[in-house]
A and B are shown apart, each in its own frame.
Chain A
């Protein structure tokens, strides 16, 4: 699967021409002024772009209070189920159950890589029994981003945000970061997520104004840096060449942003930050503002691919609001059945997801809303945290994918390959894939019941 092929400038690049050289001030939603009279397609016949998202939460769920009891269209769940908060949005939410990780098992590590990248994890420097790993293949937000950028360049190839603060530092990049670019030789290549709402606001919406002269000078400087990188690459080994190849790509991302006249988004207020109150992390509040900022960024076309790390793989976030007094990972390994606090923590987490989805749904776009034009893959690295189980993984696919996704289906594929989930979500975002995944994670069939 090679998505690196750049598509030559086509009529779809009309966006650039249309905006000319000057920044155009537009209100929300961005694309309204480009719509045809029917409001369904852009003025020149192109579809409203579908956005792709990866929304991750750590430590799995409690399967008996997660999986809807019936299979097929119009899923429903009893009152104590984790998904109750999503019921009002269920036209936009499909549940996939039964899928299992087929790559070589390792607690947390293999599940994380499998759901996020469709492949195995990669142990870095395999000389010790202590495992420190990274993602061997790019996470799906980057797969989608690579494709979208090959079509029409967005100002940002992708955007990454996180909600809870906890980061695992002992076992490699997968416990700290969600978005990965893959690693062939043990180099670590990640897209760090922004955890501070204030900093995320500053980066996206408080960029100031630099005139075209300064932009051109910055471009010349980056050209020179690119030249230095290429010359240096010639003197290096394979691994370092790869590392600098990413540096080069990163430089070119800035350069292309200098060349794309960015539509001016409606500037929100600075949300500030949310320090702990009496040692309690303000998770719901942070989720709210990060969801708001990401929605705004998507609505005004800053990017088409995003990831939200609600909590990390193996997260030690403390869900104090459900009575937890220790981190979730430890709680999973000490709380006796029936795992009441874990059940409530997952319910709380799904409420936070519901807030984000509802925000997208409440943002008009064309004749519908932003969630109509999203495909969002939601999952975790375990089925259940206390056993490190990676069979029957929890998965949701949200949004209508520009009409590609049915919504409101519960599909159950007992012991199916876990990659079918992300594959389906990528198809929902319009990626022209006939197969997806790597090694034992390679699949050629999606969860077809979810697709229109």
Chain B
């Protein structure tokens, strides 16, 4: 209790607080090389993250089933949820386990999938490729080897094949049916940790450098870029041991970026990065916002995702343009929030918004503004906090214990704006340390209500003031704020850092800071192209190299 409090007090009273936070960690400096070791700009020795297990996410699991059985396949809907930790479902997947209720869901889903495939004798026999009904046959053993290699995304050992073949025979006996025996044996392949998790263990490469194996890299690349198991080209390359070579890795990544699934998959990164899944459950007060329809929230999400796709896959330009562009897409739902006439239906229409300084970029989309607001009220604090934490990569400590966090009571005789009340709140030095860093960014966006519609007065008829000072720079409103944010060096660096964290499924710490700095340099050198960031990432030492998992006992 003591330490958290004193730390907060130190932060809140330090005049150089902001600059302390925007330290070199977000500025690219190539790590010094000394005796073959890499160091970050602050002198920390580079040590890659430990190899770990990654539980397949729901889309990955569906794609893994599809890869094995093909269409048609109705993927069971009742699967364990994809949580997020530190924004990303990938990080949650590298921390979570399988609880009893989730094991139940996996078991039910496995049989639901197998039932579909085995319902048709023709489909079943085509899958197995052996005479109908035989089990104790070399042909079945070969099927098990091929199927399991594909399902577990690595070569299976003879011992593993023997065990599974014996299981199939045993089950065929129990069930009195050869094909049923094979079906149930496949249920053991598909409930296996080798299928439900992406297993990274790593291997010792030349010169004792510990790294991910070729097979592990095949899955790392494939699930990162297309949320699916390795395709034939990757499997072949893995078999030949080619995927420890950065040039080979890069060539496969370039190829996968052309796959249509790469769009969906990188959009999922963006969805986590901006917390967009929450828009599917948009909860706003209908009495206050007549623009609301059942599809508004998802439409807001899709609009933002389309802007991402346009930037990354169509224009392939500077990723920071996303923060300032007036080019967007609208459908009837979001057009209503923009107050734009003549757009009907849910299809998307490309538009260029007027150059009036109101609507530059992704931070002025209804989705962003609605997401970082309450059910009826705006929240300059939430909007500012999101930008500070997720676009500047600067953390905000929590409020200290025991202070009253309630905003001052408005005087009914002298109406005040939310901004005025927050200003008063920040006269308390216990609050100002952090709120000074969040609220002013949000004030520049106060011209948008809790669903992101433009306004010049608030619900009490009070004039909205969007002038603000962000990290020492004066801004008049959303236009200036967006230009400023896009130009801050730590914003470009932060995007690279977050993609690194998502891809490697761990937070960048001091031990791999050098790898992040290299990635940031590469991003800057490639003019902030997101596709180039992806290619720099997959060949980055922090992504290709691993540390062996610690076997030290951790006692709670």
- For B402, the chain A residues whose CB sits under 8 A away are 387-389
Q: Given A235-B201, A240-B549, 4 other A-B contacts at CB below 8 A?
A: A124-B86, A188-B83, A217-B174, A279-B286
Mask: chain A, 143-186; 1 = CB below 8 Å from B; 0 = not = 00000000000001110100001000110110010000111111
- The size class of the interface chain B forms with chain A is 35 or more
Stretch at the interface among A4-12, A39-47, A101-109: A101-109
A220 touches B171 (CB 8 A): yes
- For A267, the chain B residues whose CB sits under 8 A away are none
- For A227, the chain B residues whose CB sits under 8 A away are 163
- For B167, the chain A residues whose CB sits under 8 A away are 220-221, 224
B461: interface (CB < 8 Å): no
A187 touches B96 (CB 8 A): yes
B161: interface (CB < 8 Å): no
A333: interface (CB < 8 Å): yes
User: How many angstroms between the C-alpha atoms of A242 and B173 in the bound complex?
Assistant: 35
**Interface hits, B66-104 → A, CB 8 Å:** 78, 80-81, 83-86, 92, 95-104
- The size class of the interface chain A forms with chain B is 35 or more
B351: interface (CB < 8 Å): no
B358: interface (CB < 8 Å): no
B99 touches A181 (CB 8 A): yes
CB proximity of A174 to chain B, nearest CB, Å: 12
What would be 18 A-B contacts, judged by CB atoms less than 8 Å apart? A107-B401, A124-B95, A169-B275, A184-B554, A188-B95, A199-B78, A221-B187, A224-B163, A228-B188, A243-B53, A243-B96, A246-B98, A253-B100, A279-B292, A332-B406, A333-B405, A336-B407, A389-B402
B163 touches A203 (CB 8 A): no
Known: A227-B163, A247-B193. A220 touches B174 (CB 8 A): yes
Contacting A107 at CB < 8 Å: which of B396, B399, B548? Answer: B399
Q: Across the interface, name the chain B residue whose C-beta is closest to A186.
A: B95
User: How many angstroms between the C-alpha atoms of A330 and B107 in the bound complex?
Assistant: 40
Known: A169-B278, A220-B174, A225-B188. A184 touches B1 (CB 8 A): no
A237 touches B551 (CB 8 A): yes
A249: interface (CB < 8 Å): yes
**Interface hits, B440-480 → A, CB 8 Å:** none
- For B180, the chain A residues whose CB sits under 8 A away are 217
A217 touches B184 (CB 8 A): yes
Known: A124-B95, A228-B192, A333-B406. A221 touches B549 (CB 8 A): no
B107 touches A254 (CB 8 A): yes
Nearest 5 pairs of A and B residues by beta carbon: A237-B549, A129-B395, A250-B103, A336-B409, A105-B1
User: How many angstroms between the C-alpha atoms of A224 and B192 in the bound complex?
Assistant: 9
- For A244, the chain B residues whose CB sits under 8 A away are 53, 97, 193
Q: Across the interface, name the chain A residue whose C-beta is closest to B11.
A: A129
A388 touches B405 (CB 8 A): yes
Known: A127-B509, A388-B399. A250 touches B99 (CB 8 A): yes
B99 touches A189 (CB 8 A): yes
User: How many angstroms between the C-alpha atoms of A192 and B106 in the bound complex?
Assistant: 14
- For A318, the chain B residues whose CB sits under 8 A away are 283, 375
CB proximity of A130 to chain B, nearest CB, Å: 4
CB proximity of B520 to chain A, nearest CB, Å: 17
- For B396, the chain A residues whose CB sits under 8 A away are 129-130
B175: interface (CB < 8 Å): yes
Stretch at the interface among A16-24, A54-62, A131-139, A353-361: A131-139
Contacting A249 at CB < 8 Å: which of B81, B85, B100, B163? Answer: B100
A326 touches B377 (CB 8 A): yes
- For B170, the chain A residues whose CB sits under 8 A away are 220
Mask: chain A, 299-335; 1 = CB below 8 Å from B; 0 = not = 0000000000000000000100000011100101111
A173 touches B83 (CB 8 A): yes
**Interface hits, A188-225 → B, CB 8 Å:** 188-192, 194, 199, 203, 213-214, 216-218, 220-222, 224-225
- For B288, the chain A residues whose CB sits under 8 A away are 325
User: How many angstroms between the C-alpha atoms of A341 and B551 in the bound complex?
Assistant: 52
A128: interface (CB < 8 Å): yes
Question: Interface residues, chain A, CB within 8 Å of chain B?
Answer: 104-107, 124-125, 127-132, 136-137, 156-158, 160, 165, 169-170, 172-173, 176, 181-192, 194, 199, 203, 213-214, 216-218, 220-222, 224-225, 227-229, 232, 235-240, 242-244, 246-247, 249-251, 253-254, 278-279, 318, 325-327, 330, 332-337, 386-390, 438
User: How many angstroms between the C-alpha atoms of A131 and B395 in the bound complex?
Assistant: 9
B194: interface (CB < 8 Å): yes
Q: Across the interface, name the chain B residue whose C-beta is closest to A136.
A: B556
Mask: chain B, 368-407; 1 = CB below 8 Å from A; 0 = not = 0000001111010000000001000001111101111111
CB proximity of B264 to chain A, nearest CB, Å: 21
B84 touches A169 (CB 8 A): yes
A247 touches B103 (CB 8 A): yes
Mask: chain B, 200-223; 1 = CB below 8 Å from A; 0 = not = 010000000000000000000000
- For A184, the chain B residues whose CB sits under 8 A away are 554-556
B488: interface (CB < 8 Å): no
User: How many angstroms between the C-alpha atoms of A20 and B507 in the bound complex?
Assistant: 53
User: How many angstroms between the C-alpha atoms of A183 and B99 in the bound complex?
Assistant: 13
- For B375, the chain A residues whose CB sits under 8 A away are 318, 325-327
- For A247, the chain B residues whose CB sits under 8 A away are 97-98, 103, 193
A106 touches B193 (CB 8 A): no
A124 touches B187 (CB 8 A): no
B526: interface (CB < 8 Å): no
B103 touches A216 (CB 8 A): no
A128 touches B395 (CB 8 A): yes
B102 touches A192 (CB 8 A): yes
User: How many angstroms between the C-alpha atoms of A235 and B213 in the bound complex?
Assistant: 15
A254 touches B184 (CB 8 A): no
Contacting B102 at CB < 8 Å: which of A130, A185, A250, A390? Answer: A250
B86 touches A130 (CB 8 A): yes
User: How many angstroms between the C-alpha atoms of A201 and B407 in the bound complex?
Assistant: 43
Known: A221-B184, A224-B188. A188 touches B85 (CB 8 A): yes
B510: interface (CB < 8 Å): yes
B4: interface (CB < 8 Å): yes
- For B284, the chain A residues whose CB sits under 8 A away are 279
Contacting A254 at CB < 8 Å: which of B85, B103, B554? Answer: B103
B318: interface (CB < 8 Å): no
CB proximity of A366 to chain B, nearest CB, Å: 29
User: How many angstroms between the C-alpha atoms of A105 and B92 in the bound complex?
Assistant: 25
B116: interface (CB < 8 Å): no
A225 touches B406 (CB 8 A): no
Contacting B285 at CB < 8 Å: which of A172, A225, A325? Answer: A325
User: How many angstroms between the C-alpha atoms of A420 and B275 in the bound complex?
Assistant: 39
Contacting A191 at CB < 8 Å: which of B4, B81, B99, B554? Answer: B99
User: How many angstroms between the C-alpha atoms of A367 and B164 in the bound complex?
Assistant: 53
> Which of A157, A169, A318 gathers most chain B CB within 10 Å?
A169
Known: A129-B397, A216-B174, A238-B552. A232 touches B194 (CB 8 A): yes
Contacting B175 at CB < 8 Å: which of A165, A217, A240, A326? Answer: A217
A238 touches B191 (CB 8 A): no
CB proximity of A75 to chain B, nearest CB, Å: 28
Known: A106-B398, A127-B510, A318-B283. A238 touches B83 (CB 8 A): no
- For A104, the chain B residues whose CB sits under 8 A away are 1, 3-4
- For B292, the chain A residues whose CB sits under 8 A away are 279
User: How many angstroms between the C-alpha atoms of A130 and B395 in the bound complex?
Assistant: 5
CB proximity of B449 to chain A, nearest CB, Å: 13
- For A438, the chain B residues whose CB sits under 8 A away are 556
